[in-house]
Amino acid sequence: MADKPRRTRAFEQVLLQVERRIADDGLRVGDRLPGERQLAEQLQVSRASVREALRVLETLGVVSSQVGRGPDAGAILTSRPDSALSDLLRLSLGLSSLSLREVIDTRLMIEQWSAQHAARMPEPEPAAMAEAMRAMEASVSAEEFVEHDIAFHVAIAEASGNRLVAAVMRALRDAMRRYAIEAVERLGDTGVLREDHRRIHDAIISGDAAGAMDAVTTHLAHAYPELFSRGTP
């Protein structure tokens, strides 16, 4: 059966709108973008989607986030986003066609590195990982479980302290979701995956970089045994 057409995510709409505003309104470096609430109302999306888009733009060096109200609200344009933003959107929109092998190879590289560096951070921030683990325990469907599972893995990348690595993991979410749901449905019981998450979390918290890398590899091998049957991808 053919895959359903991919729907543009809310934060991609925000990115497109920002690019359009810069082009149509002649915004220049130093100009201020509309505030978070205003952008959300204009696009009829959640403020969380706007916030995520602005984080991506800040990672790319396109805007500088500002805290304030009234005339002081809204991020400031720090560079023209023409090539950087277009490249990001092309990447994000093209990820839905990636094969399982490509997605897992990329995840393995990113998540091993992220787990290792997160464990080496002087003060790791496990709150997002712990919250995702709790939500997975309460999940009642494969789709719901995977939603929180992905949040857990994105949180690992964010805990590494590298904003670009975290941005790439966020961009991979749609491709991850498609294969992750299939993996969960195939396994039936998510107990082994939840135990893997605890091992990853505990290794990061205890500063065990080698253990965190090993736990990530074991976890992906449990979820996708067909790719690991002849060794690590």
Task: Please identify which residue in the block is written with the tokens 């449905």.
Answer: 185
Q: How many residues does the chain have?
A: 233
End-to-end Cα spacing for the chain:
27
Domain holding 127, by residue range, is: 99-228
| Domain finish residue from 65, 91, 117 | 91
- Domain tally for the chain? 2
Same-domain check for residues 223 and 154 = yes
Per-residue pLDDT of the chain (233 residues; tens, 9 = 90+): 334 434 446 666 677 776 676 666 677 778 888 788 887 887 778 888 888 778 777 776 777 876 555 555 678 888 765 555 555 555 555 566 678 898 899 999 999 999 999 999 987 667 889 999 999 999 989 999 999 999 999 999 999 988 888 878 887 877 788 889 999 999 988 999 999 999 999 999 999 999 999 999 999 999 999 888 755 55
In this structure, the number of other CB atoms found within 10 A of the CB of residue 26 comes to 8
Half-sphere exposure of 58 (CA within 13 A, CB side): 16
Predicted model pTM: 0.65
